[in-house]
């Protein structure tokens, strides 16, 4: 479904105006970083799955 370094779009945009996030850590919790301002958010995988809108770009392998 989604992997490390994928760019994703969440249901709500970040206050900086950007809605592109990069997945920077995966596990029981998922850490994402805003591509606009660099803000990092960590949330449980269930919450991330609920807030995810779509995958914008898959990471290159």
Average pLDDT, the chain: 94
Q: Is the pLDDT of residue 7 over 80?
A: yes
The residue extents of the domains of the chain are 6-57
Q: What is the pLDDT of residue 32?
A: 97
Is this model's pTM higher than 0.95 or not? no
- Pairing status of strand 29-34 against strand 40-44: antiparallel
Q: Are 32 and 40 in contact (CB under 8 A)?
A: yes
Q: Is the pLDDT of residue 61 over 80?
A: no
What is d(CA 47, CA 57) in angstroms, rounded to the nearest whole number? 21
Mean pLDDT over 53-61 rounds to 89
Going by C-beta distance under 8 Å and a sequence separation of 6 or more, which residues neighbour residue 27? 45
Mean pLDDT over 17-36 rounds to 95
- Residue 46 has phi, psi (to 5 degrees) of -60, -45
Q: Is the pLDDT of residue 60 over 90?
A: no
Q: Which helix (H) or strand (E) holds 41?
A: strand 40-44
């Amino acid at each position: 479904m989604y992997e490390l370094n994928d760019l994703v779009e969440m249901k709500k945009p970040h206050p900086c105006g950007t809605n592109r996030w990069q997945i920077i850590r995966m596990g029981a919790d998922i850490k994402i970083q805003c591509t606009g301002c660099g803000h990092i958010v960590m949330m449980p995988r269930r919450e991330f799955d609920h807030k995810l809108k779509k995958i914008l770009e898959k990471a290159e392998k």
